[in-house]
Amino acid sequence: MPHINGKDGVSLAVSTSYKNKKVIGIGITSELTGLSERQIRYYEERKLIQPDRSKGGTRKYSFEDVERLVDIANKMEDGMQTFEIRKEEMKQSDVRNKMLRGQLNAAFKMRK
């Protein structure tokens, strides 16, 4: 984990995985993306984004989610429908899974 020097020269550990931490509320997410809160909830209803929920039920998003929402909005603006975006996502997921399986198989073969 990288370190930075804080006050008084004390070294502080900095997490590099901040992009996937779900800590951003829907209001800030709306400001960052330019989407209305209603649009964001609509994309959630369509299973295009899955925020975490706090104990009180508040939606929490990550920076990765923010990037994903911008990508979704751009695709919608280009004329894609939500079902087409999900279909495209599923294809990409299948390709990633096949690549990972291939890498795992290759690693196991090398161990033999």
- Verdict on whether the full-model pTM lies above 0.75: no
Strand partners, 21: none
Q: For 69-79, write each residue's pLDDT tens digit.
A: 999 999 999 99
Mean pLDDT of 80-88: 93
